[in-house]
Amino acid sequence: MEVIYTPTVAEYLILFDFDETYYPHECLPEQLNMVYELEQYLQHLARNHQVKIAWVTGSSVQQLQAKMKIADMTQLPHFIASNLGTEMWEVEPDGQLVTVPSWAKIIRTSGFSRRDVEDLISELKSTFNIVLHEQTQFGQFGYKMNYYYYPVSAAKTQYDIRIIRHLAANHGIGININICNPKAGDPEHAYDVDFIPVGTGKKAAVQFLIEYCQVLLSKTLAFGDSGNDIEMLRMVAHGYLLQNATAEAKSCHNNVAPYPYAEGILHVCRNFFGE
């Protein structure tokens, strides 16, 4: 793997969700050709416009590495906020991933406990008859605990989600809930329910990286495809859903690129940088 050329000074910051944004799960030849073109273009931006690149993703580093191998991708970004922003890595020129100490401190002092999450899951079931199913196919990583919620009816779903959010807040646990995207490997007609430390998540990770890189807000861009990207897109000056985004996401965010995946990213960036 190569690392995208690291400028001495960052003038711009571009942030990407990974699954179904930067990385197309179908891996069709025409899609991958656009990914390779995007990799080269980002190298150009880094060298000539002092751009830094970050992936802000629900995937773990191990999952990212496996997907990059499948797609024969060669370029790593400057930063990876993995596991839904509960981990923050700075990528060294030799490709080594190094934790960012100031972010690691936020995690350590958050008070997050896997036992607290397990107690919350038990309380939801015993008191409110709300059952969450562990996402065992992806495994549980670090400071993010993943579950599925399967809706029964629209009215009950709204009620249950309010209860889940309320209890998480009472327990001092951060939470992310959004409709699943089957294209990314999730079941249909289900919700992702992710428990994370307070003060983390995609929105917090983006805010941290903007400050860490000392980039003006007007010079920030972000791209996503699903409901859990909306807060990230709203944190930057120029946030775009791609054409392949979920209906849920498009109902929440009107700024949509005219093309899917890397093709949409290239279109927006070339217009933005006047190329």
Active site residues: 17
Three-class DSSP category at 20: coil
Decide: 8 and 19 in contact? Cβ < 8 Å. Answer: no
Q: What are phi and psi of 91, to 5 degrees?
A: -95, 120
Angstrom distance (rounded) from CA 139 to CA 58: 12
Q: Please report the DSSP string for 140-207 in residue order.
A: -BTTBEEEEE--S-HHHHHHHHHHHHHHHHHTT-EEEEEE--GGGTPPTT-EEEEEE-TT-SHHHHHH
Q: Which residue has the tokens 């779903």?
A: 157
Bridge partners of 89, per DSSP, are: 80, 99
Q: Is 217 exposed, middle or buried (0-12, 13-18, 19+ CB in 10 A)?
A: exposed
Nearest to 36 by CA among 76, 80, 3, 74: 74
Angstrom distance (rounded) from CA 221 to CA 15: 6
Percent composition of the chain: helix, strand, coil (DSSP 3-state, to 5): 45, 20, 35
Nearest to 243 by CA among 255, 228, 235, 233: 255
